[in-house]
C-alpha cells in the first residue's frame, strides 16, 4: 500500500465529516482530503477490472487515518468508466426507438470523411446495431404540430419485440421531440414494463440537430447499466457520493447514473478546474494545461473567462452534444509503450502498459515505456516514485530499453545504444504532445507566447519545460501536489446543472419576452434541484448564455449577452472567431442555455510566508542525461523548499506525487503559494 500519510487523526468535536476527492487514472488512483485546513494526498494502484476496488481501499484508509465513520465521508469522484467503455466498446446491448424512416441516422451521420484521402478508412460501427434500431409511426412538425399521432397498439407490439431481443438499455429519440415531448413520454411509459434503463432525448438533450441528439442519447443509454452498477458499488461505502461532469461541475450519483453521458471527460475536467484554481491564486489569467498521467495526456486552453467550452465534441469517434470542456486527448503518458513499426520508425503509444502489468520498471513486465526511458536517463534523481515508497527496478527498465535499442539498430543499420533509444522515446512522446498543444492554440489562432503552461499529473513536470520551449511559452507553473491536481479539482468543483432550450427565433423580431420566459423556467427547475442538494438560494449561481448564428448557417457561437443589443455582440464575437462579420444578415437565436451552480465550501488555500529570495542547497547530486549530455544534476526535495527559494537548471525537483525536470538554461522560484514558477529561456 502506498501512502503519504499514516498518522491517525483522533476524532474531535470539530472534525465531524471529511470530503475526499478521488481521481481514477490508468495507473494510479489519487486521493485528496482536507482535515483541519491541511491537505492530505496519497495514491494507490488502480484496479482497471473494477475501479471501485481501489476507491474502496482508499476510503477505508481515509477512515482509518481520520477516525471518521465511512458514512460521514463525502466522495467527489472523477471517473474514466464511461470513457473507457466507449473506447473499448463494452457498454450495454442498447435498442434505439425513433421516428419511422430515421432508424439509420446513427449509421448515416453527417456523411463526412475525417480522412479525406484515405481510401481504406474504416468507420467505427454504430453503438446500436441495425437489428436493434426500431422505427414507430409518428411525426411532429418543426413547429410542434402533431402530423401523425402515436398508436398504443403499435407500442404494445414493439414492447414484445424488445423482450425477444434481450436488450439491456433503451434510447428514445423522435423528430422534434424537444418541441413536443408527449410522444417520447408515451413510449417511455410503454417500455417501463421491461424494467430497463431508459434514456429520453427531450430530457438528456432538448436541442435540434437530429444526428448529434440521437448519438448523445444512444451513448447515454449505452453507458447507463455499466455506470449505474459501478456507482451502486461505490455507494455501499458511503451515502454521500458526487461525480464530476465533463463541464467542470459535479452532480449527485443518482443523476450521474441516469445521465452518464455527462461524465465522459470527468477526470480531465477535474484537472482543469484544479489548474484554474492554481493559476488564479498565482496571478496568471491565461494558461494552457497539460495533464500527463500514466495512460494519456489531456490538454486545454484557458483564457480570462476560464476554459473554453464546446457542445460539438467527438469522443471515441462519436459526437457528444452535451456541454463539456474543450479538452484534447492524445495517447501519450508515462505508461505509453514504445515500439518499432513495420517501416522501422519509433512509435510511442497510444497503447499503454497501465498499472497491470505496468512499465518494465514496475517489475512485472518487459514493456519499454516513457517512464522506463526517464529512469534510464536518471530523471527521477534516484528517488523512485511516490516519495521513494514505490521502488523502481532500474535494471529491468534498462533491459527493456536495450531490447528496443536492438530493434532500432536493425532498422537503422547502425548501432543505437540504450541512452539514444531512451532519448528517442522521449523525443517522440514530446512530439505527440506538442502536436496536441498546437492543435488547441496555434491552429485556433492563439499565440502560445501569451500563455503560461501549467502541467500536472504524475509525468507532467518531466516534459513541461521542453514542451514550453518548443512552443516558445515563457513560463511554466508547477502547482503544489501536481500529481494529484485532478483530485484536488474535483474536490473544489461546484455542483453544476446545465440546461438548454431550442428556440429558433430571429433577434430582430424582438426576443426579450421569449428569452426571459425560457430562462425563468430553467432557473426555477435548477433552483429546485440545487435546493434538494442542500444549496439555499444564497449559495446558488445561475449563468445565462445564448447560442447564436446567422440565419442559414449550420453551426452557432455561444455568447454571454442575453439582453440589449444581442446582434451587435454576436457580430463582434463572429469577427473575433472567424475574421469577418456579416452586419446585414439576420441573427438567429438557436438555443437558450443555463449553467446553474451550487457553490461548495472553498478549499483551504494556505499562503507561505515569503522571505527574501534565497538560494537553497540540494539534498544530493546525481548524474543524469539532458539533450544528449551527461551532467551533474542537483536534486531538491520540494517539501523542503521555502517560499522565495531560487533554483537554477539543470536540476530535479522530487515530491510525493510528481517529479519535475528543470533543464540547463531554465530557472525557477517558489512563489507565496508554494507553486514552482519556471522561467523558460
Domain count, the chain: 6
Identify whether residues 319 and 458 lie together within a single domain: yes
Assign residue 486 the CATH number of its domain. Answer: 3.30.420
**Does residue 208 surpass a pLDDT of 70?**
yes
Same domain, 151 and 253: no
* pLDDT at site 609: 52
Residue 329 has pLDDT above 80, yes or no: yes
| CATH number of the domain enclosing 559 | 3.30.1490
Distance of CA 349 to the CA centre of its chain: 19
- Mark residue 341 as left, alpha or beta (left: phi above 0; alpha: psi -120 to 50; beta: remaining): beta
Q: CA–CA distance from 609 to each of 44, 435, 615 (Å)?
A: 32, 39, 16
Q: What is the 3-state secondary structure (H, E, C) of 286-304?
A: CEEEEEECCCCEEEEEEEC
Residue 139 CA, chain-centre distance (Å), reads 38
Grid cell of 40 as nine digits: 492530505
Higher per-residue confidence, 256 vs 236 = 256
| CA angle centred on 385, ends 380 and 389, rounded to 5° | 130
Contact 674, 282 (CB under 8 A): no
Domain assignment present for 445: no
- Mean pLDDT, range 308-333, rounded to an integer: 86
Report the SS3 class of residue 81.
Answer: helix
- Does one domain contain both 299 and 385? no
pLDDT value, residue 512: 81
Predicted pLDDT of residue 96: 97
Q: Is residue 59 part of a domain?
A: yes
Interatomic CA distance for residues 439 and 333, integer angstroms:
18
Query: Rounded CA gap, 318 and 82, in Å?
Result: 13
Tell me, yes or no, whether 278 and 185 share the same domain: no
Residue 547, pLDDT score: 92
The predicted-structure confidence for 626-674, as pLDDT tens digits, reads as follows: 888 899 999 999 888 988 899 998 999 998 888 999 999 999 999 988 9
Q: Residues 642, 676: contact at Cβ < 8 Å?
A: no
Residue 97 near residue 187, CB atoms below 8 Å = yes
pLDDT at res. 239: 62
Same domain flag for 258 and 272: no
Q: Please state the pTM of the whole predicted model.
A: 0.86
Residue 620 inside a domain? The answer is: no
Secondary structure of 490-516 in HEC code, one letter for each residue: HHHCCEEEEEEEEEEEEHHHCCHHHHH
Helix (H, G, I), strand (E, B) or coil at 213: helix
Of the candidates 627, 625, 35, the one whose C-alpha atom is nearest the C-alpha of residue 376 is 625
Tell me if residue 48 falls in helix, strand or coil: coil
Across 327-341, 378-392, 417-431, 511-525, the highest mean pLDDT is recorded for 417-431
pLDDT tens for 147-184 read 999 998 999 999 999 999 999 999 999 999 999 999 99
C-beta separation of 31 from 3 below 8 A? no
**DSSP code of 564?**
S
d(CA 158, CA 279) in angstroms, rounded, equals: 55
Mark which of 208, 225, 242 sits at the end of a domain. 225
Say whether both 129 and 182 belong to one domain.
Answer: yes
Considering 598, 623, 656, which residue would you say is the last residue of a domain?
A: 598
Same domain, yes or no: 26 and 56: yes
Domain end call among 263, 282, 310:
263
| Ramachandran region, residue 106 (left: φ > 0; alpha: ψ -120 to 50; beta: rest) | alpha
Lowest mean pLDDT among 12-16, 202-206, 447-451: 12-16
The answer to the question of residue 461 being in a domain is yes
CA distance 160 to 83: 32
- φ, ψ of residue 299 to 5 degrees: the values are -125, 150
pLDDT in tens, 331-347: 888 889 999 998 899 99
Instruction: Determine the structural domain holding residue 540 and report its residue range.
Output: 494-598
- Whether the CB-CB separation of 437 and 467 falls below 8 Å is answered with yes
Is 2 domain-assigned? no
The CB density around residue 110, as the number of other CB atoms within 10 Å, is: 10
Report the helix count and the strand count for the chain, using DSSP H and E: 16, 36
Query: Cα(47)–Cα(627) distance, rounded to whole angstroms?
Result: 36
From CA 353, how far away is CA 356, in angstroms rounded? 7
The pLDDT score that the predictor gives to residue 68 is 85
Phi, psi (rounded to 5 degrees) for 28? -125, 155
Nine-digit cell string for 324? 463539456
d(CA 631, CA 378): 10
Q: Which residues, in sequence order, are CB contacts of 258 under 8 Å at separation 6+?
A: 197, 224
Strand partners, 336: 352
Whether the CB-CB separation of 593 and 491 falls below 8 Å is answered with no
pLDDT tens digits along 360-374: 999 888 999 999 999
Cell of 224: 447507463
Q: 609: which 3 cell numbers?
A: 510566508
The predicted-structure confidence for 505-560, as pLDDT tens digits, reads as follows: 888 766 788 888 999 999 999 999 999 888 999 999 999 999 999 998 888 898 88
Q: What is the pLDDT of residue 173?
A: 97
Domain check: are 254 and 352 in the same one? no
Please tell me whether residues 74 and 118 are part of one structural domain.
Answer: no
Helix (H) or strand (E) holding 427: helix 418-440
Whether residues 24 and 38 share a domain: the answer is yes
Cell 413536443: give the residue: 180
pLDDT at site 35: 73
For 126-157, the pLDDT digits (tens) are 899 999 999 999 999 988 899 999 998 999 99
How many Cβ atoms from other residues are within 10 Å of residue 6's Cβ? 10
Q: What is the pLDDT at residue 429? A: 94
Residue 621 lies in a domain: no
How many angstroms separate the CA atoms of 317 and 490, rounded?
Answer: 26
End-to-end CA distance of the chain: 40
In this model, does residue 307 exceed pLDDT 90?
no
190 part of a folded domain: yes
- Residues 197, 225 contacting (CB under 8 angstroms): yes
Minimal CA–CA distance to 88: which of 30, 117, 114, 127?
A: 127
pLDDT band at 561 (very low <50, low <70, confident <90, very high): confident
Distance in angstroms (rounded) separating the CA atoms of residues 336 and 659: 17
- Residue 67 banded pLDDT, cuts 50, 70, 90: confident
Q: The dihedral of CA 514, 516, 517, 521: what is its sign?
A: positive
Q: Is the domain of 474 the same as that of 560?
A: no
Q: How confident is the model at residue 37 (pLDDT cuts 50, 70, 90)?
A: low
Q: Decide if 499 contacts 38 (C-beta within 8 A).
A: no
What was the pLDDT predicted at 6? 36
Q: For residue 65, what is the domain's CATH number?
A: 3.30.420.40
Indicate whether 279 and 314 sit together in one domain: yes
Cell of 607: 499562503
Q: Is residue 481 part of a domain?
A: yes
Mapped to the 3 state alphabet, what secondary structure does 568-612 carry? Answer: HHHHHHHHHHHCCCCCCCCEEEEEEEEEEEECCCCCCCCCCCCCC
Q: Pick left, alpha or beta for residue 180 (phi over 0 → left; psi -120 to 50 → alpha; otherwise beta).
A: beta
Amino acid at each position: 500500500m502506498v501512502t503519504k500519510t499514516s498518522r491517525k487523526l483522533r476524532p474531535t468535536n470539530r472534525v465531524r465529516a471529511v470530503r475526499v476527492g478521488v481521481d481514477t487514472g490508468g495507473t494510479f488512483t489519487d486521493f485528496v482530503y482536507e482535515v483541519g485546513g491541511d491537505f492530505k494526498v496519497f495514491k494507490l494502484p488502480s484496479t482497471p477490472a473494477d475501479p471501485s476496488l481501489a476507491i474502496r481501499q482508499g476510503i477505508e484508509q481515509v477512515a482509518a487515518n481520520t477516525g471518521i465513520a465511512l458514512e460521514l465521508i463525502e466522495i467527489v469522484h472523477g471517473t474514466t468508466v464511461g470513457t473507457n467503455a466507449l473506447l473499448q466498446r463494452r457498454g450495454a446491448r442498447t435498442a434505439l426507438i425513433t421516428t419511422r424512416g430515421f432508424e439509420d441516422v446513427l449509421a448515416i451521420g453527417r456523411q463526412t470523411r475525417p480522412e479525406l484521402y484515405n481510401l481504406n478508412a474504416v468507420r467505427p460501427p454504430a453503438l446500436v446495431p441495425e437489428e436493434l434500431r426500431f422505427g414507430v409511426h409518428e411525426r411532429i412538425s418543426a413547429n410542434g404540430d402533431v402530423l401523425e399521432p402515436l398508436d398504443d397498439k403499435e407500442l404494445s407490439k414493439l414492447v414484445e419485440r424488445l423482450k425477444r431481443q434481450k436488450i439491456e438499455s433503451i434510447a428514445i429519440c423522435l423528430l422534434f421531440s424537444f418541441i413536443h415531448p408527449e410522444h417520447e413520454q408515451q413510449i417511455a411509459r410503454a417500455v417501463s414494463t421491461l424494467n430497463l434503463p431508459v434514456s429520453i432525448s427531450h430530457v438528456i438533450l432538448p436541442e435540434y440537430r437530429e444526428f448529434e441528439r440521437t448519438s448523445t442519447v444512444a451513448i447515454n443509454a449505452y453507458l447507463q447499466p455499466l455506470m449505474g452498477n459501478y456507482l451502486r458499488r461505490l455507494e455501499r461505502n458511503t451515502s454521500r457520493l458526487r461525480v464530476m461532469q465533463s463541464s467542470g461541475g459535479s452532480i449527485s450519483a443518482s443523476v450521474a447514473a441516469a445521465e452518464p453521458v455527462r461524465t465522459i471527460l470527468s477526470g480531465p475536467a477535474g484537472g482543469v478546474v484544479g489548474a484554474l484554481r492554481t493559476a488564479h491564486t498565482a496571478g496568471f489569467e491565461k494558461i494552457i494545461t497539460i495533464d500527463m498521467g500514466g495512460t494519456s495526456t489531456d490538454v486545454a486552453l484557458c483564457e480570462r473567462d476560464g476554459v473554453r467550452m464546446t457542445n460539438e465534441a467527438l469522443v471515441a469517434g462519436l459526437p457528444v452534444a452535451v456541454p463539456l470542456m474543450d479538452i484534447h486527448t492524445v495517447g501519450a503518458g508515462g505508461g505509453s509503450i514504445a515500439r518499432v513499426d513495420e517501416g522501422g520508425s519509433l512509435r510511442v503509444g497510444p497503447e499503454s502498459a497501465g498499472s497491470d502489468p505496468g512499465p518494465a520498471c514496475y517489475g512485472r513486465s518487459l514493456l519499454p515505456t516513457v517512464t522506463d526511458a526517464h529512469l534510464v536517463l536518471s530523471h527521477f534523481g534516484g528517488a523512485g516514485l511516490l516519495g521513494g515508497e514505490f521502488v523502481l527496478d532500474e535494471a529491468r527498465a534498462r533491459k527493456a530499453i536495450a531490447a528496443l535499442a536492438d530493434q532500432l539498430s536493425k532498422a537503422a543499420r547502425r548501432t543505437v545504444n540504450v541512452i539514444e533509444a531512451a532519448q528517442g522515446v522521449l523525443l517522440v512522446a514530446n512530439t505527440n504532445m506538442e502536436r496536441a498543444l498546437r492543435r488547441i492554440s496555434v491552429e485556433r489562432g492563439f499565440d502560445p507566447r501569451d500563455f503560461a503552461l501549467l502541467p500536472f499529473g504524475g509525468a507532467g513536470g518531466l516534459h513541461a519545460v521542453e514542451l514550453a520551449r518548443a512552443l516558445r511559452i515563457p513560463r511554466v507553473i508547477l502547482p503544489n501536489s501536481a500529481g494529484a491536481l485532478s483530485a484536488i479539482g474535483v474536490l473544489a468543483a461546484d455542483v453544476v446543472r446545465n440546461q438548454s432550450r431550442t428556440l429558433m427565433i430571429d433577434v430582430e423580431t424582438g426576443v426579450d419576452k421569449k428569452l426571459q420566459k425560457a430562462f425563468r423556467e430553467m432557473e426555477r427547475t435548477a433552483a429546485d434541484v440545487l435546493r434538494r442538494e442542500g444549496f439555499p438560494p444564497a449559495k446558488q449561481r445561475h449563468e445565462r448564455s445564448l447560442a447564436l448564428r446567422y440565419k442559414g448557417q449550420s453551426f452557432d457561437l455561444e455568447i454571454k449577452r442575453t439582453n440589449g443589443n444581442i446582434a451587435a455582440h454576436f457580430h463582434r464575437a463572429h469577427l473575433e472567431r472567424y475574421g469577418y462579420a456579416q452586419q446585414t444578415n439576420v441573427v438567429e437565436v438557436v438555443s437558450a442555455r443555463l449553467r446553474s451552480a451550487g457553490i461548495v465550501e472553498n478549499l483551504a488555500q494556505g499562503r507561505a510566508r515569503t522571505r527574501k529570495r534565497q538560494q537553497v542547497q540540494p539534498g544530493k547530486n546525481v548524474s543524469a542525461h539532458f539533450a544528449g549530455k551527461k551532467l551533474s544534476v542537483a536534486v531538491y526535495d520540494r517539501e523542503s523548499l521555502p517560499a522565495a527559494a531560487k533554483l537554477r537548471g539543470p536540476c530535479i525537483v522530487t515530491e510525493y506525487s510528481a517529479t519535475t525536470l528543470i533543464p540547463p538554461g531554465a530557472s525557477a522560484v517558489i512563489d507565496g503559494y508554494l507553486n514552482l514558477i519556471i522561467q523558460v529561456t
